[in-house]
């Protein structure tokens, strides 16, 4: 790391990035030639051409914000997880302890990972519609600040009591079908609740494939049965759910509220997904 840009989200998680700032500065004075720390709100106005390393200090949404700076470039992405979920960091084995996270950066071990393009917008973690989107988008920040990751667990139970299926037309590889689904997840990293649960089978960040999970029930009891199967790693296609892998996907859509890497977004028109293999250099 010679010239380092740190993009910090001081509002993420329980605002731990504020507490970590002093430790980070001390680390950068020792391990870089030059550095700059900017707030996530200002990153769009920064000329990043001089930096060889971009460090995201925040949650998964912060990482998503800096993706356009590092995808298909020779820049390296570093992560200091300070968000509520920190799912990508968990998948990569990066600790939420600031000193341990900095040791990961200090090792300078670089790997390449994939990205999903959603209508040409990059996604490194996962995209969600329906139930998954409700948990991410409708859990208030104040609740997340108070209860941390446990707030998503609470929201998951509450939203499971009112599953609302929608009609979707799905197209991937040589397959095409209609489905009534209460949740669709398109994942590059399929882990949830840290690494306790995964909606994908042997999901990897560098396999050139997306893991697709489609929940087809609106009955909360049936949902919890399927959730138990996921925990027990009994992920098989049945009347409740579908699982498959693909490198390309299309979802016919008129209007939906969803999320990309934990950031809620309105989607108008059809959704097209494709994997860009090994397009991010990441420190882990």
193 and 257, same domain (yes or no): yes
228, part of any domain: yes
Q: Which residue, of 55, 80, 108, is where some domain finishes?
A: 108
At 136 the pLDDT is: 79
What pLDDT was estimated at residue 140? 72
Q: What is the pLDDT of residue 254?
A: 85
Two tokens at 156? Answer: 């998951």
Q: Is residue 148 part of a domain?
A: yes
> For residues 189 and 218, is the Cβ–Cβ distance under 8 A?
no
Q: Is residue 135 part of a domain?
A: yes
What sections of the chain are H helices per DSSP?
16-31, 60-70, 87-92, 98-107, 131-138, 141-147, 150-160, 220-231
Parallel/antiparallel/unpaired status of strands 191-192 and 197-198: antiparallel
Distance in angstroms (rounded) separating the CA atoms of residues 191 and 195: 5
Exposure on the CB side of residue 209, measured as CA atoms within 13 A: 15
61 contacts 123 by C-beta, under 8 angstroms: no
**What is the reported pLDDT for 169?**
96
Other residues' Cβ atoms within 10 Å of the Cβ of residue 202: 9
Residues 6+ apart with CB under 8 A from 85: 59, 60, 149, 152, 194, 262
193 and 260 co-located in one domain: yes
- 115 part of a folded domain: no
d(CA 10, CA 275): 31
* Domain limits for position 92: 3-108
93 with 146, same domain: the answer is no
Q: Is residue 75 part of a domain?
A: yes
> Residue 249: its pLDDT value, please?
98
**Are 252 and 125 part of one and the same domain?**
yes
The verdict on 101 and 131 lying in the same domain is no
Tell whether 284 is covered by a domain: no
Q: Residues 12, 76: one domain? A: yes
Q: Tell me how far apart the alpha carbons of residues 250 and 215 are, in angstroms, rounded to a whole number.
A: 17
Give yes or no: residues 135 and 272 share one domain.
yes
- Looking at residue 149, its pLDDT comes to 67
Examine the domain organization and report whether 81 and 149 are in the same domain. no
70 and 165 inside one domain: no
Question: Rounded CA gap, 142 and 196, in Å?
Answer: 25
Q: In terms of domains, do 148 and 71 share one?
A: no
Last residue of a domain, one of 82, 108, 134: 108
Give pLDDT < 70 ranges for the chain.
13-17, 145, 148-149
Domain CATH for 60: 3.40.50.10330
What is the total count of domains within the chain?
2
Task: Indicate whether this model's pTM tops 0.95.
Answer: no
Residue at which a domain ends, from 83, 108, 133: 108
Q: Are residues 86 and 148 in the same domain?
A: no
The 263-268 sheet, strands edge to edge: 241-246, 210-215, 183-187, 126-130, 255-260, 263-268
Domain annotation covers residue 90:
yes
Tell me whether residue 29 is in a domain. yes
Same domain, 95 and 136: no
Residue 137 has a pLDDT of: 76
């Amino acid at each position: 790391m010679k010239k380092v840009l740190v993009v910090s989200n001081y509002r993420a998680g329980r605002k731990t990035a504020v507490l970590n700032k002093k430790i980070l500065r001390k680390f950068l004075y020792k391990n870089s030639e030059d550095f700059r720390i900017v707030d996530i709100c200002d990153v769009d106005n920064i000329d990043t051409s001089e930096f060889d390393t971009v460090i995201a200090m925040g949650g998964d949404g912060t990482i998503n914000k800096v993706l356009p700076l590092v995808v298909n470039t020779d820049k390296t992405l570093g992560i200091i997880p300070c968000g509520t979920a920190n799912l990508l960091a968990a998948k990569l084995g990066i600790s939420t302890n600031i000193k341990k996270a900095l040791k990961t950066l200090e090792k300078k071990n670089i790997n390449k990972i994939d990205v999903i393009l959603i209508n040409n917008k990059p996604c490194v973690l996962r995209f969600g519609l329906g139930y998954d989107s409700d948990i991410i988008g409708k859990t208030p920040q104040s609740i997340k600040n108070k209860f941390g990751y446990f707030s998503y667990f609470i929201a998951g139970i509450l939203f499971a009591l009112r599953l609302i299926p929608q009609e979707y037309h799905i197209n991937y590889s040589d397959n095409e079908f209609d489905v009534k689904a209460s949740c669709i997840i398109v994942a590059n990293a399929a882990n949830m609740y840290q690494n306790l649960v995964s909606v994908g089978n042997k999901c990897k960040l560098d396999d050139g494939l997306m893991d697709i999970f489609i929940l087809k029930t609106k009955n909360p009891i049936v949902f919890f049965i399927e959730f138990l199967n996921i925990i027990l790693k009994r992920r098989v296609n049945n009347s409740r759910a579908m699982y498959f892998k693909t490198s390309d996907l299309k979802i016919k859509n008129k209007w939906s509220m969803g999320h990309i890497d934990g950031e809620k977004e309105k989607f108008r028109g059809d959704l097209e997904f494709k994997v860009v293999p090994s397009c991010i250099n990441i420190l882990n």
